[in-house]
Amino acid sequence: MIRKTTPKELLAESLIDLAKIHPIQSITVTDITDNCQVSRQMFYYHFSSKYDLISWIYSDKADKIIEQYIEKEPWGRVAGRIVEFIKEDYIYFKKAFDDNTHLSFYNNIFNYTVECHTNYILKKTNRTSLPPDILFAIRFNAYGGVNVTKDWLENGMKESPEQLGELIFTAMPLPIKKYFHLDE
């Protein structure tokens, strides 16, 4: 059931609905636009491809969660909120992770996480660049967080989103963990 109102949200909801029935690899832009009764031109006005839409679905919601809570709650709780929204549409996200093309959701979420953490630490430290050890820790953490989340989806989501968020934070490498503690 389509329930969003902005064009981007409408297209996102259409893809999420279609993914409940079809593998993401087989869904076309025409399928997405036909499902929500908008033109292909509308789609291409907002997105360059189906994979651009897939990336936006995650990054838009994650950005909103981070913006709302990053200065108010411990990072483990913020991560738990992100995992919670993944759980809300777990069929879609499980199928998104199953796509193994070079434009895959896995690669997009990994790159998003690296960029998000890098930008956050740059902002916190008033720097324009980060040293190699911090960049390595960010990539290491993103790799672990994305893979743990993927495994969590594939293995029945045994931990609650809150528990998984806390576990991801607890496992964060020390060189970057200090930047994700709330300022006292």
pLDDT, the chain, mean: 93
Would you list the domain boundaries of the chain? 7-46, 55-180
Q: What pLDDT was estimated at residue 184?
A: 45
The yes-or-no verdict on residue 4 having pLDDT over 80 is no
For residues 11 and 43, the answer to whether their CB atoms sit within 8 Å is: yes
CATH class of 55-180: mainly alpha
- The pLDDT tens digits of the residues spanning 35-83 come to 999 999 999 999 999 999 999 999 999 999 999 999 899 999 999 999 9
Amino acid (one-letter) located at 126: N
Give the Cβ contact number of residue 55 at 10 Å. 21
Element (H, E) at 42: helix 40-46
Q: Which CATH architecture has domain 7-46?
A: Orthogonal Bundle (1.10)
pTM of this prediction exceeds 0.85: yes
